[in-house]
Structure 1
Amino acid sequence: MQSNSKIEQSLAVMKENGLKYTKKREAMITYLIRRNRYVSAREVYEFMNQEFNGVSYDTIYRNLHDFADFELLETTDLNGEKKFRFRCCHEVGHHHHFICTVCGKTKEIHMCPMDFFKEQLNGCEIEGHRFEIFGRCEECR
């Protein structure tokens, strides 16, 4: 999917969820699409402060959480910090990630180990799960 189409889809999802269009929101989602890896709120803030001098960190943080609530972003905790990644507008189904601990690059894993665990937890009701593999990517090895 083209980057412009992802941006347009994301802006439509924001509008559907009651967020007004702003150049800042478009710039944030564009940045996240282009980064294509998990990034911290601080990284987004530093980028946005270059583009929109004086932007509030709280505004960036609140918008990132709104975007995650609308399922535009995936989140993870990496090294004790919440990180955000563009979710591809639902074009990819259920999946997990390999995350490089050096550069943050991610690779999608298109299988889920939960089938194995469900067999081990007979009679239990599983309400959710997270599965991520951490290591060094090809470039960082």
Structure 2
Amino acid sequence: MNLQEALSLLKQEGYKYTQKREDILTFFTKEDGYRTAGDLLTFMSEKYDGLSFDTIYRNLHLFRELNILESTDLNGEKHFRLACGHDEHHHHFICQTCGKTKAINTCPMNFIQQDFPGYTIENHKFEIYGQCPSCH
């Protein structure tokens, strides 16, 4: 997903365009990987004096709800990134040092599902954590 797609989706879903929202989305289009609300607040504070964590979190969760952002928990803290835009089902390797991601194109559920006869699996999430070559 790119900035224009994200802004269009926001408008399409009936949400107001603001410069702050565009700046938040711009931050994520420039970052390669998962980032925290604190990272975003540091970036936004340069332009918006007195910006609160409430405003940051409210927008992050809205964008997550609209599938503009993806989220994961790393070291007990929620991290966000721009939705990668893959049309096909996939998972990610996530670097625990820098937050960069790499798509995993094989789904482990293809192998695990046989262990759940009679169960209805409605959703799943699979992530691998480690260090990317740059951080290793």
Q: For structure 1, list consecutive stretches of 5 or more residues without a partner in the other structure.
A: none
Report the TM-score when normalising by structure 2: 0.94
What's the offset of the Cα at 1:92? 3.7
- Aligned residues: CA RMSD: 1.3
Q: Spell out the pairing of 1:13-92 with structure 2 (5 A cutoff).
A: 13-88=9-84, 90-92=85-87
What's the offset of the Cα at 1:91? 4.1
1:76-125 Cα distance to aligned partner (Å, 9 max, x none): 1110111111003x344221111111111111111211111111111111
Q: Spell out the pairing of 1:76-115 with structure 2 (5 A cutoff).
A: 76-88=72-84, 90-115=85-110
Structure 1 moving runs of 4+ over 4 Å: none
What's the offset of the Cα at 1:34? 0.9
Contact 2:92 2:127 in 1 (8 A): yes
**2 CA distance for matches of 1:122 and 1:36?**
39
Aligned AA for 1:52? Y
Aligned AA for 2:132? C
Higher helix share: 1
**1 CA distance for matches of 2:88 and 2:19?**
29
Report the TM-score when normalising by structure 1: 0.91
Count of matched residue pairs: 136
1:42-78 Cα distance to aligned partner (Å, 9 max, x none): 1111111112121121011100000000000111111
Q: Percent identity?
A: 48
Is residue 117 from structure 1 mapped to residue 112 from structure 2 by the alignment? Answer: yes
**2 CA distance for matches of 1:51 and 1:122?**
55
Aligned AA for 1:27? D
